[in-house]
């Protein structure tokens, strides 16, 4: 060999991170993570029932339904506020962000025509996928952490630092609340890997970034809709989003890990299979973009 | 506004007795009809029967056993419609009716009095005895079950006690002894001087007044202080509110409307359900009914369910509970041979709140016997805490808020913070193992008043704490005590029955007994006072229920192992199918040949042969032109040479190494194929720098400045690429291909987008590049381009190699023949070439 080419030095993680982090969509996604708590605070403070100091916690208590009265507790203090932000964010926003950061990894390179130059350099195909996936997941998890950090900071300024109040009864002081929020954040990050996995498979299949992201978001939403259909009965426990809300178990005084263990496992299984499928597909793919 | 909504929701829930929604949505069929049935006497003075508004649901197959559905307080026959339809679909004749004073049944509310509401219910059985569609066990004895919740649950039990024709009962969240629920007393005074006469407890004012208001609604012309209540019940209520006491007459009235009065007469199989989230009719009420029936007739089939719902909300288990009722009636009315499950079931709800729609996540304690709400035997848990002084505030305010009728239990977690000096606390040592806590615990307290008082009111509750961090207050339930005629400085010992709960204590958690002077849901004494509270022996007796814990969900371990197995399997599969399992072919004889193509074929899906069996090679140090019209297969060949496309057959060798995706030999090629590709959000310079850093050749000198100079972008090199023109992108693309001065430079249509001076500069640059001993391949559909730039040429047409060689040799002996003419000669004139 005439030159000093080393396959394991191609496309280092740090370089890929620099290539992605300067993109506008990264800034927009992170901006949304900060905007969400700001908007909610503004709505609460400026809204028609502005009564922030009393921390009115009655909420939409639904007599006899046993509904999860997390939202009513949002103004209780920053811990509760952050929980509600996680509840709001994990439904659609974070799903989209996770799908975005994994779904446009390869497809956007294809659409910029840069993919062929990276592969011909050559960056080994599997190395390219793994580095891109690692960076995509890093950016996704960063968005989640930014949401939590921004919510904690904004919530602390807006509503104070009262202990975390569980809708089940009981409360957690700061250190315990921080631990609980950390567990919840970790769990939400894990369950969102399903969206990342779908998006990552699609990004290898298609050359259209939005197609990959949209497909992943659509599959997650269809799964959520099916999960709401009582008629499906126990079949629903096999849906990938079935355990998406299992993190509320963390609000119990003693954490019941059963559902979360199952939800996290399902998500990791789905993620592994989807990524494995993506790798096998990309190994043989003719790069025509 | 929110509270109004909450209250409205409460009314709805009470109306339907918390037995809502079966999933069945069958529309009303012709076999549903409204009927009027003559009931019991209208009042003590008027023996004319009330006309009961009822609705009969007939199943497809008759005769069938009947189920009478009784609604909750504030409801009507309409509120049980869904349940009626689902029971009818299961094969029962269903009779839904509005109790007197509700819906379109007129008359006064007598709170399930034997002379009135019970007489009405018995009249319904008489009516069913006359219907041919109902299975008859004997003359004037239809086979009939009664079901209801709350107000309807009490009438179901009462009619079963008063009328032996009732064959099965399902009763949910109702009272056993109305006086105990509305005037709660959980203290038994110990010692010689105790007054053993039944004394009135603490008035549950908030719930009582709330219910009374539900019965107040009347047409405007009939507004009166008693609403739709009968006079004697109205008096009893007013008496309670104004004095906090009950006359013996009122006590008798309440007792007659209590299942406790007739429980020993019930012989029908009875399903009793009670709610943990119920501060109105706590678990102990349903449990006492169970104990009373079981004591009188041990052979009577009974089942007791402590579910997680109730008048305070809690966890919605309606689907499960309606399943219990359905199974109960199928077994005891349809006489199906099915199991009704364990005798005692309690839901452990505190472990989860996500379970609204997910029964799989609930856990249950079950047992084949019910040991009683206080257990037949107890564990002793040592509580410690010194004697504490607590004060009862003047006027009873501010008061601890634990539950609010209609607002649900969550209020407890919000504001159940104690006011200063109103509560005394006693704690156990941390538990070392997971311990279930079911039923009512007992403790003996010593209360020493600092002044003489006619009455002394205290509220006790059991909570679970985890040091300072967390506290659980199961459903915000408190057990009130009322001690009368206390003397200053004279200690009183009382045995206290704490609220019945279903909980689980985890290792490290402690039990905490809280004794408070206030609770906003109750009528409180207004005289300020102070008491010393201390434990007598510190022994908390917790019931031993002999339960087994079961979970609907299987262990998550299987899923975790599956996850590990799947990860392992996927990694193994990827490893087995890793690229280049066999080492790539290396041909030493080609070590000095920049590019050799051998029998190369590429057939795309659909059968199109883009490259059809071509072979050629490029010597070192030349500029080779790859010439051919659009669609000749030039680009496909270059992509195969770059490892982007897999050949269908044949091979490409770069310096002797067979090309495969990611072959290290590819690092010796710099390429521009089908236009440049850059990250639009970065500058030209950043693009080249990052591309070089991604190339795996970082130890070499990219000669960045040299290639940028050739690209001739000027200051634009520090602008974002998305602002570039096509020509600028093209020049930057050529610069990128030349980064690190690769041994083989492949440029596909390099003059695209360039203007004539730039084209000329590029030609010179390419020739200079080859002059250094490196090799350049230029593909083009422009003959003139190739002719002016290249020393060698490969001519392709429709995927096939037409000819190859030195440009001058091909033209040798053909004077004045230009490459263009030559090309037309070998290709034929079936296409237009050289069109730019």
B412 and B329 housed in the same domain: no
In B268-376, where do the E strands start and end? 270-275, 302-307, 309-310, 313-314, 344-348, 363-367
B108 and B141 housed in the same domain: yes
pLDDT over 70 (residue A101): yes
* A272–B314 CB contact, under 8 Å: no
Most A CBs within 10 A among B210, B279, B364, B408, hence the mutation to make, goes to B408
* A66–B315 CB contact, under 8 Å: yes
B476 and B540 housed in the same domain: yes
B758 and B793 housed in the same domain: yes
What b-and-e string marks burial along B504-520, b requiring 16 or more CB atoms within 10 Å of the CB? bbbeebbbbbbbbbbbb
* A257–B556 CB contact, under 8 Å: yes
Query: Is B231 a domain residue?
Result: yes
Closest residue to A113, CB basis, from B314, B555, B676: B676
Residue B605 is part of a domain; what is its CATH number? 3.40.50.300
Closest residue to B678, CB basis, from A114, A252, A283: A114
Handedness of CA A271, A274, A277, A279 (dihedral sign): negative
pLDDT over 50 (residue A98): yes
Query: Is B376 a domain residue?
Result: no
Residue closest to A120 by CA, chosen among B666, B693, B202, B216: B666
> Which residues on chain A are in Cβ contact (under 8 Å) with B414?
57, 73, 76, 165
The separation between CA B91 and the C-alpha centre of its own chain, rounded to angstroms, equals 34
pLDDT over 50 (residue A138): yes
Closest residue to B353, CB basis, from A228, A248, A280: A248
Q: Which residues pair with B595 in a beta bridge?
A: B618
The last residue of a domain, from among B338, B367, B398: B338
Number of other CB atoms surrounding residue B205 within 10 Å = 17
Tokens of B267: 């012989």
Cβ-Cβ contacts under 8 Å between A and B: the total is 313
Tracing tokens 């009950």 back to the chain, one arrives at: B246
Tokens of B19: 């037995």
Q: How many domains does chain B have?
A: 4
pLDDT score at B401: 75
CB neighbours of A117 closer than 8 A, spacing ≥ 6?
Answer: B671, B677, B691, B736
Residue closest to B215 by CA, chosen among B15, B13, B5: B15
B81 and B227 housed in the same domain: no
Q: What is the mean pLDDT of residues A243-259?
A: 79
Query: Is B495 a domain residue?
Result: yes
pLDDT score at A68: 45
The last residue of a domain, from among B545, B580, B615: B545
pLDDT over 50 (residue A207): yes
User: What is the secondary structure of B568-603 as a DSSP string?
Assistant: HHHHHHHHHT-S-SSPPPB-GGGTT-SEEEEEEEEE
Distance in Å, alpha carbon of B674 to nearest chain A alpha carbon: 9
SS3 content of chain A, % helix, strand, coil (to 5): 75, 0, 25
Cβ atoms of B655 and B593 closer than 8 Å: yes
Number of other CB atoms surrounding residue B219 within 10 Å = 6
pLDDT score at B452: 92
* Chain B: residue whose CA lies nearest to A283: B579
pLDDT over 90 (residue A113): yes
* Chain B: residue whose CA lies nearest to A262: B556
The last residue of a domain, from among B519, B545, B571: B545
> Which residues on chain B are in Cβ contact (under 8 Å) with A60?
2, 5
Cβ atoms of A127 and A10 closer than 8 Å: yes
B594 and B690 housed in the same domain: yes
Q: What is the mean pLDDT of residues A131-135?
A: 96
> Which residues on chain B are in Cβ contact (under 8 Å) with A254?
351, 504, 506, 509
Residue closest to A271 by CA, chosen among B575, B566, B561: B566
* A66–B693 CB contact, under 8 Å: no
> Which residues on chain B are in Cβ contact (under 8 Å) with A288?
639, 644-645
B273 and B236 housed in the same domain: no
User: What is the secondary structure of B136-182 as a DSSP string?
Assistant: EEETTEE-EEEEEETHHHHHHHHHHHH-TTEEEEEEES--S-HHHHH
pLDDT score at B193: 54
Indicate the burial class of B380 (C-beta count within 10 angstroms; 0-12, 13-18, 19 or more). exposed
pLDDT over 90 (residue A216): yes
CA-CA distance, B676 to B446, in Å (whole number)?
90
What are the C-alpha distances in Å from B743 to residues A3, B586, B659, B705, B775?
Answer: 9, 18, 16, 19, 6
Task: Report the mean per-residue pLDDT for chain B.
Answer: 86
pLDDT score at B275: 92
B22 and B129 housed in the same domain: yes
B278 and B236 housed in the same domain: no
Tracing tokens 């193992």 back to the chain, one arrives at: B433
B638 and B677 housed in the same domain: yes
Query: Is B2 a domain residue?
Result: no
* Enclosing domain of residue B667: 588-827
State the pLDDT confidence band at A169, using cuts at 50, 70 and 90: low
B240 and B269 housed in the same domain: no
Tracing tokens 């090679």 back to the chain, one arrives at: B617
pLDDT score at A225: 87
Structure ipTM: 0.89
Distance in Å, alpha carbon of A233 to nearest chain B alpha carbon: 9
Count, in order, helices (H) and strands (E) of chain A: 11, 2
* Chain A: residue whose CA lies nearest to B676: A113
Residue B281, helix vs strand vs coil: coil
Query: Is B350 a domain residue?
Result: no
pLDDT score at B35: 94
* B410–A69 CB contact, under 8 Å: yes
pLDDT score at A224: 85
Closest residue to A67, CB basis, from B356, B557, B574: B356
Q: Where are the domains of chain A?
A: 11-40+68-284
Higher pLDDT, A195 or B408: A195
Query: Is B369 a domain residue?
Result: no
B136 and B210 housed in the same domain: no
Tokens of A209: 């970034």
- The helix (H) or strand (E) run that includes residue A199 is helix A193-205
* A261–B350 CB contact, under 8 Å: no
* Chain A: residue whose CA lies nearest to B412: A169
Q: What residues of chain B score a pLDDT lower than 50? A: 1-28, 192, 194, 196, 351-360, 409-415, 832-836
* A168–B413 CB contact, under 8 Å: yes
CB neighbours of B666 closer than 8 A, spacing ≥ 6?
Answer: A120, A121, A122, B642, B643, B654, B659
State the pLDDT confidence band at A70, using cuts at 50, 70 and 90: low
pLDDT score at A192: 95
């Amino acid at each position: 060999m005439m030159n000093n080419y080393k396959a394991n030095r191609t496309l280092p993680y740090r370089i890929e991170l620099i290539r992605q982090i300067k993109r506008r969509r990264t800034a927009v996604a992170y901006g949304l993570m900060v905007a969400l708590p700001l908007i909610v605070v503004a709505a609460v403070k400026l809204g028609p029932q502005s009564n922030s100091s009393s921390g009115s916690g009655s909420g939409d208590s639904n007599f006899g339904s046993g509904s999860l009265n997390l939202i009513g507790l949002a103004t209780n203090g920053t811990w509760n506020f952050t929980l509600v932000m996680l509840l709001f964010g994990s439904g659609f926003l974070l799903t989209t962000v996770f799908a975005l950061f994994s779904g446009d990894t390869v497809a956007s390179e294809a659409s910029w025509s840069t993919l062929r130059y990276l592969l011909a350099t050559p960056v080994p195909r599997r190395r390219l996928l793994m580095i891109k996936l690692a960076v995509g997941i890093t950016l996704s998890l960063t968005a989640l952490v930014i949401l939590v950090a921004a919510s904690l900071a904004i919530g602390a300024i807006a509503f104070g630092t009262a202990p975390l109040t569980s809708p089940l009864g009981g409360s957690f002081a700061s250190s315990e609340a921080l631990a609980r929020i950390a567990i919840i954040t970790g769990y939400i990050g894990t369950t969102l890997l399903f969206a990342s996995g779908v998006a990552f498979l699609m990004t290898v299949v298609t050359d259209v970034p939005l197609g990959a992201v949209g497909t992943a978001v659509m599959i997650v939403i269809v799964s959520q809709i099916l999960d709401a259909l009582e008629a499906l009965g126990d079949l629903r426990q096999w849906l990938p989003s079935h355990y998406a809300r299992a993190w509320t178990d963390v609000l119990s005084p003693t954490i019941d890990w059963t559902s979360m263990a199952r939800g996290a496992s399902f998500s990791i299984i789905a993620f592994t299979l989807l990524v494995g499928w993506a790798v096998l597909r990309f190994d043989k793919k003719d790069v025509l973009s | 506004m929110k509270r109004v909504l909450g209250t409205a929701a409460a009314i709805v829930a009470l109306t339907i007795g918390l037995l809502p929604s079966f999933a069945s949505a069958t529309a009303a069929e012709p076999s549903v009809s409204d009927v009027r049935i003559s009931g019991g006497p209208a009042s003590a003075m008027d023996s004319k029967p009330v006309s009961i508004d009822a609705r009969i649901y007939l199943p497809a197959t008759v005769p069938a056993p009947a189920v009478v559905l009784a609604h909750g307080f504030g409801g009507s026959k309409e509120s049980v419609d869904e349940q009626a339809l689902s029971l009818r679909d299961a094969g029962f004749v269903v009779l839904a009716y509005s109790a007197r004073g509700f819906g379109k049944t007129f008359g006064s509310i007598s709170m399930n009095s034997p002379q009135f509401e019970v007489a009405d219910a018995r009249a319904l059985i008489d009516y069913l005895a006359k219907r041919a569609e109902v299975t008859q066990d004997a003359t004037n004895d239809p086979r009939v079950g009664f079901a209801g919740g709350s107000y309807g649950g009490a009438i179901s039990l009462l009619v079963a006690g008063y009328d032996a024709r009732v064959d099965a009962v399902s009763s949910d969240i109702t009272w056993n002894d109305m006086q105990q629920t509305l005037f709660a007393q959980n203290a038994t005074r110990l010692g010689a001087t105790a007054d053993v006469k039944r004394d009135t407890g603490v008035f549950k004012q908030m719930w009582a007044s709330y219910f009374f208001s539900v019965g107040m609604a009347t047409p405007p012309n009939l507004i009166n202080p008693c609403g739709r209540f009968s006079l004697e019940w109205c008096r009893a209520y007013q008496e309670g509110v104004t004095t906090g006491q009950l006359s013996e007459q009122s006590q008798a009235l309440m007792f007659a409307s209590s299942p406790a009065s007739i429980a020993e007469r019930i012989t029908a199989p009875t399903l009793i359900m009670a709610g943990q989230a119920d501060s109105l009719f706590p678990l102990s009420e349903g449990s006492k009914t169970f104990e009373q029936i079981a004591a009188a007739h041990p052979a009577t089939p009974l089942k007791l369910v402590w579910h997680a719902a109730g008048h305070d909300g809690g966890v919605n288990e309606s689907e499960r509970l309606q399943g219990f009722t359905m199974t109960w009636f199928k077994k005891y009315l349809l006489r199906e041979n099915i199991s009704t499950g364990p005798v005692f079931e309690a839901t452990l709800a505190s472990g989860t709140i996500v379970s609204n729609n997910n029964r799989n996540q609930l856990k249950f304690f079950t047992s084949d016997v019910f040991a009683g709400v206080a257990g037949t035997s107890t564990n002793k848990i040592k509580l410690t805490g010194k004697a504490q002084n607590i004060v009862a505030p003047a006027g009873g305010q501010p008061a601890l808020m634990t539950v609010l009728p209609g607002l649900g239990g969550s209020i407890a977690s919000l504001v159940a913070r104690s006011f200063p000096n109103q509560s005394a606390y006693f704690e156990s040592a941390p538990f070392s193992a997971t311990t279930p806590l079911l039923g009512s615990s007992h403790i003996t307290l010593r209360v020493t008043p600092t002044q003489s008082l006619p009455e002394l009111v205290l509220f006790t509750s059991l909570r679970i704490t985890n040091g300072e961090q967390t506290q659980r207050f199961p459903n915000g339930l408190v057990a009130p005590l009322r001690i009368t005629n206390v003397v200053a400085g004279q200690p009183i010992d009382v045995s206290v029955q704490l609220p019945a709960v279903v909980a689980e204590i985890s290792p490290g958690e402690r039990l905490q007994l809280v004794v408070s002077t206030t609770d906003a849901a109750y009528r409180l004494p207004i005289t300020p006072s102070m008491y010393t509270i201390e434990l007598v022996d510190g022994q908390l007796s917790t019931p031993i229920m002999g339960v087994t814990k079961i979970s609907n969900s299987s262990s998550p371990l299987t899923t975790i192992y599956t996850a590990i197995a799947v990860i392992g399997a996927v990694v193994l599969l990827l490893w087995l199918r890793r690229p280049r399992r066999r080492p790539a072919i290396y041909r030493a004889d080609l070590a000095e040949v920049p590019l050799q193509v051998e029998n190369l074929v590429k057939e795309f899906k659909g059968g199109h042969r883009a490259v059809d069996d071509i072979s050629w090679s490029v010597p070192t140090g030349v500029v080779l032109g790859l010439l051919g019209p659009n669609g000749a297969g030039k680009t496909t060949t270059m992509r195969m040479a770059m490892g982007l496309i897999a050949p269908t057959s044949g091979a490409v060798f770069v310096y002797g190494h067979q090309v495969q995706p990611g072959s290290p030999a590819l690092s010796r090629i710099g390429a521009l194929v089908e236009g440049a590709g850059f990250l639009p959000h970065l500058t030209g310079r950043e693009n080249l720098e990052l591309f070089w850093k991604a190339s795996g050749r970082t130890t070499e000198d990219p000669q960045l400045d040299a290639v940028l100079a050739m690209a001739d972008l000027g200051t634009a090199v520090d602008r974002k690429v998305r602002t570039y023109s096509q020509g600028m992108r093209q020049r930057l693309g050529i610069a990128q291909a030349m980064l690190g001065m690769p041994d083989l430079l492949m440029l596909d249509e390099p003059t695209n987008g360039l203007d004539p001076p730039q084209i000329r500069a590029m030609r010179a640059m390419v020739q200079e590049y080859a002059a250094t001993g490196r090799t350049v391949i230029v593909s083009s559909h422009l003959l003139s381009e190739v002719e002016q730039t290249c020393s060698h040429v490969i001519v392709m047409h429709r995927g096939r190699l037409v000819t190859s060689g030195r440009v001058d040799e091909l033209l040798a002996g053909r004077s004045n023949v230009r490459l263009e003419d030559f090309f037309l000669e070998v290709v034929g004139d079936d296409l237009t070439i050289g069109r730019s």
